[in-house]
Structure 1
Amino acid sequence: MAVHFGGNAWLDGDRRRTKSARHTLEQLREHCHHHVATLATHGITAHVCVLDASLDEEAQTASA
């Protein structure tokens, strides 16, 4: 399991912002799938789950 923290709602000066921006959500998924494929060659079964925990300042809330 991996969590992607993207978006634009970071506080000024938060050092994690730069590290988070290194990969897009899709790049993280691809990396995880590649790692799982490598494990499979060694007989290890794993499944990929990437959570999108992005926070956007303009985020809309869903209506129920």
Structure 2
Amino acid sequence: AFGEVWARPQLSRRDRSLLVVSVLTVLGRGDELDIHVPAAIRHGVTRTELEELMLTAFAYA
């Protein structure tokens, strides 16, 4: 199922990575963040963007 979601063309891998990291941050899923944060960086998300995303996610969680 995950492969099918990631293969959909409506969102770029970068945007999908931002979404997944946001959700995992709010859910407190550190074990999965260990996998998805490096993947997000490979997909073009910067460390600064990830830091800001997590800060914002925590503010609304």
Normalising by structure 1, report the TM-score. Answer: 0.30
Higher fraction of strand = 1
Q: Which has the higher contact order (CA 8 A, sep 6+)?
A: 1
Higher fraction of helix = 2
- Kindly name which structure, 1 or 2, has the bigger radius of gyration based on alpha carbons: 1
Normalising by structure 2, report the TM-score. Answer: 0.31
